[in-house]
Chain A
Amino acid sequence: MLKPVKMVKISVAGPKEYLATVSDILHKVNAVHIEDPTEEEYFKLGEPLEKASTISKSLVLLRSYLSHLKIDPEKVIPTRKYKASEVEKEIQNKLEQFQSEIGTRIEKLRELNERVKALEEELRIIEPLKVLGIPPKLLKGYKNLRCFVGFLKENPSERIREITSDFVIELKEFKNEYVGVVFVKKEFEEDVFRVLQEFGFKELPVPDVEDFEARIKDIEKEKATIEVEKKSLEAELEEIKKKELEFMLAMEEYLSIELDKSELPLKALTSKYAFVIVGYVPAKKFRKVKNEIESVTDGKVTVEKIEDKDDNPPTLLSNPKIVKDFETLTTTFAVPKYHEIDPTLFVSIFFPIFFGMMLGDVGYGLVVTLLSLYLKKLFRSEGMQKLLNIGVYVGIASIIFGLIYGECFGPFVHVAEHEGVTEVSWMPHFLTGVLTSIGLTAEKLHHMIAFDRIEAPNITLLLFITIVLGLAKIMFGFSLGFYNVYKEHGLKEAILEKGTWLFGMMAIACGIFGFVTNLVNEVPPLTTVNTFFMIGPVFLAIWLVLFLKAEIPKMGGIGVVLGIELLTWFGQTISYARLLAVGLSSVYIAYVINFMGIKMLPEKLGFIGVVIGVIVLIIGHIVNTLLGIMDPGIQSLRLHYVEFFTKFVEGGGKLFKPFGRIKRFIEE
């Protein structure tokens, strides 16, 4: 759980004619991560198998149909699985069938769409001409006259008159512009055209029609028939989609698998007669892969372990179910290297706890949980499912902490009578009355709450708790880092690189505890000497010696300056106070919303106040819920990435991607 799966480096080598068989087997076992090879003098990258080009052609065709029918394989939940042999037998027939059933219909649809576009283009020309109100035959076909038909921004009569007084103009308003026609003698054509251009003239070509009105009607009629035709074509396609959906997806999967297989040679090195594939396989599956390949090929192809000193195996994280959901959070930061500790387990423990500590509210927690459960039904992709599972866990954590803090949409017990406390709750008075009648007075309820975080002494206590949590977690991080370095470089390096900081952190811890002890005893906190302040310098001295030993050989004199990094760790410890701060801000927002909605507005404005109050409550709590999901989520993640992971995760590993795929629509 804490370490990635153990890998074995293997080589698969044999005569070239067995490459296709090996490809089949490797794809079926879906357990070998194949390394991209580098070419050498005698070994070159292989060529894809012959069938690759036909397969990819079919696949492109099929995928174009799928995309036209708007089918997303991710979103389809298969009801049955097809046998691979069945798909193989049918595939050619089906492809031809699809070509005639779907392909022709798509082609027809495309033609119709083009026709509609052409008709609309024509309409755009004819409509303004109709507004102009001059029959088409009068707009063209003159010998000695030039007739300008088109759009104009303003009336150009004045300017044309400067050229000639012998002209006719007709203008009509059309959509913020004018549509007009100007008749002039041929000899003035060029001058008038120049003038018209100044008025933003855009010429309209006059189409060969008898009557604009009639033509528009024809066009509308044709468009309507085309629409009907399109509708029926689309309905037919929908019908086909319903009938063939699963088989199409099975075919897509089958072809993708075949393509994968036929492209395996691209990841193999081949000579004239032989091939070799190098990859990694989980140690547990090595025997199985070896036996399978060697038995099927009669020992012609051999699978051997390779002992390689500086190998760099891929990382396959392996965690139990709930922890697995948190792997996304780890890999978003970095993929751990093969030799490193996989921090997902710690994330799965601390992330919900931190989130709960911050949000800590039964009401908001329930909303988060239910919302995640609801969204899980809508978003089916694997990534979303994992993310929403995390949503459920953090929601539950929030509910638990909500019970500890005694909060449900803000502080919920009405204890106005409580000494000096003016909490406002949404719990109605009659309910409080009922609770009182069964012996649960406000006083008792208030004290039943294990830990009320918005009261003064508890705030400081929680502050202390969060900082101690920070100290512990950072030191834990360094310990894990110590282990990582120890595994890779040995004890001495581990002590110098990570052990130093453990002593440094001890010194910081002594400082903080000393300060707090003095505060509790009510003596000047920084100047009074106590046990912690006496032990602290010892740790500090050890840290300094180790630190200088580690840094000076590497950095020279300047290394001393790096000691300032100890202050960074101090800062990161204090940074855990956000567990208190973010939570408090959310409680106080809820508190203010409740105060306004339940107390202030109804008391000041009467009935209208109640109405506005309800609106304030609803909007306020929605906003606060959203903030309550965002902020604790990001802050909790940040506490892991920045304050925790930096101590031991180096990252830079590559994820294990086996050759093969998980079959969803077909089976062997």
Chain B
Amino acid sequence: MAEALISDEAFIKGCAAIGAGLAVGLAGIGAGAGESGIGAAAVGAISEDRGFLGLGLLFTVIPETIVIFGLVIAFILMFAY
């Protein structure tokens, strides 16, 4: 086996950083996919009735929780490990 180019610690840090990026990025894609459908429906509902604006906005951001999960994982990876 060839000698390792970087130390174990650096390797772990690097992997953690990549993992953090993936966690936020993929979660973002997921949330976006979820919001697209809700957003379209909400805009439809708002065009029927302006009063729905508040609730419509609210429904639209519900899938955003998924990104928060990703972000929390990212924070734990970046700062706790």
Spell out A's residues near B (CB within 8 Å).
332, 456-457, 459-460, 463, 519, 525, 571-572, 574-575, 577-578, 581, 634-635, 637-638, 641-642
Bound Cα distance from A574 to B62, whole angstroms: 14
Assuming the A-B contacts A575-B68, A577-B71, A581-B71, are A460 and B61 also in contact, with contact meaning beta carbons closer than 8 angstroms in the complex?
Answer: no
Bound Cα distance from A431 to B64, whole angstroms: 41
B29-56: contact bitstring with A at CB < 8 Å (1 yes, 0 no)? Answer: 0000000000000000000000000110
Chain A residues with Cβ below 8 Å from B65 are 571-572, 575, 578
Bound Cα distance from A523 to B69, whole angstroms: 23
Assuming the A-B contacts A460-B79, A463-B75, are A637 and B58 also in contact, with contact meaning beta carbons closer than 8 angstroms in the complex?
Answer: yes
Bound Cα distance from A460 to B79, whole angstroms: 7
Give, as a whole number of angstroms, the nearest-CB distance from A604 to chain B.
28
Q: Does B72 contact A (CB under 8 A)?
A: yes
Counting from the closest, the 3 A-B pairs by CB-CB distance are A460-B79, A575-B65, A581-B71
Interface residues of B in 14-37 (CB under 8 A from A): none
Q: Give me 17 other A-B pairs in contact (C-beta within 8 A), A577-B72, A635-B64 excluded.
A: A456-B79, A457-B79, A463-B72, A525-B80, A571-B69, A572-B65, A574-B68, A574-B69, A575-B65, A577-B71, A578-B64, A578-B65, A581-B67, A581-B71, A634-B57, A635-B61, A638-B58
The answer to whether A634 touches B58 (Cβ under 8 A) is yes
Pick the contact of A642 from B57, B62, B71, B79 — CB < 8 Å?
B62
The DSSP consensus for interface residues of chain A is: helix
Chain A residues with Cβ below 8 Å from B54 are 332, 637
The answer to whether A459 touches B79 (Cβ under 8 A) is yes
**Most-contacted residue by chain B among A463, A571, A581 (CB, 10 A):** A581
Give, as a whole number of angstroms, the nearest-CB distance from B39 to chain A.
13
A-B contact pairs, 7 of them (CB 8 A): A456-B79, A459-B79, A460-B80, A574-B68, A577-B71, A581-B72, A637-B54
Chain B residues with Cβ below 8 Å from A460 are 75, 79-80
The answer to whether B61 touches A634 (Cβ under 8 A) is yes
Pick the contact of B80 from A519, A575, A637, A641 — CB < 8 Å?
A519
Chain B residues with Cβ below 8 Å from A572 are 65
Spell out B's residues near A (CB within 8 Å).
54-55, 57-58, 61-62, 64-65, 67-69, 71-72, 75, 79-80
Chain A residues with Cβ below 8 Å from B64 are 578, 635
Chain B residues with Cβ below 8 Å from A519 are 80
Give, as a whole number of angstroms, the nearest-CB distance from B63 to chain A.
11
Bound Cα distance from A280 to B68, whole angstroms: 46
Closest to B74 in A: A581
Bound Cα distance from A575 to B62, whole angstroms: 10
Give, as a whole number of angstroms, the nearest-CB distance from A399 to chain B.
25
Closest to A642 in B: B62
Bound Cα distance from A525 to B75, whole angstroms: 15
**Most-contacted residue by chain B among A456, A460, A525, A638 (CB, 10 A):** A638
Chain B residues with Cβ below 8 Å from A638 are 58, 61-62
The answer to whether B58 touches A578 (Cβ under 8 A) is no
Closest to A633 in B: B57
Bound Cα distance from A519 to B75, whole angstroms: 13
Give, as a whole number of angstroms, the nearest-CB distance from A179 to chain B.
43
Closest to A630 in B: B57
Closest to B72 in A: A577
Chain B residues with Cβ below 8 Å from A577 are 68, 71-72
Closest to A456 in B: B79
Chain A residues with Cβ below 8 Å from B61 are 634-635, 638
Bound Cα distance from A637 to B72, whole angstroms: 21
Chain A residues with Cβ below 8 Å from B58 are 634, 637-638, 641
Closest to A332 in B: B54
Chain A residues with Cβ below 8 Å from B67 are 581
Bound Cα distance from A332 to B62, whole angstroms: 16
Chain A residues with Cβ below 8 Å from B68 are 574-575, 577-578, 581
Chain B residues with Cβ below 8 Å from A575 are 65, 68
Give, as a whole number of angstroms, the nearest-CB distance from A525 to chain B.
8
Closest to B69 in A: A574
Bound Cα distance from A297 to B79, whole angstroms: 78
Bound Cα distance from A519 to B76, whole angstroms: 10
Chain A residues with Cβ below 8 Å from B57 are 634
Chain A residues with Cβ below 8 Å from B55 are 332
Chain B residues with Cβ below 8 Å from A571 are 65, 69
Chain A residues with Cβ below 8 Å from B75 are 459-460, 463
Give, as a whole number of angstroms, the nearest-CB distance from A521 to chain B.
12
Bound Cα distance from A635 to B67, whole angstroms: 13
Closest to B67 in A: A581
**Most-contacted residue by chain A among B68, B71, B75 (CB, 10 A):** B68
Bound Cα distance from A356 to B65, whole angstroms: 20
Bound Cα distance from A377 to B57, whole angstroms: 26
Chain B residues with Cβ below 8 Å from A634 are 57-58, 61
Closest to A525 in B: B80
Chain B residues with Cβ below 8 Å from A457 are 79
Give, as a whole number of angstroms, the nearest-CB distance from A575 to chain B.
5
Give, as a whole number of angstroms, the nearest-CB distance from A359 to chain B.
16
Closest to B73 in A: A574
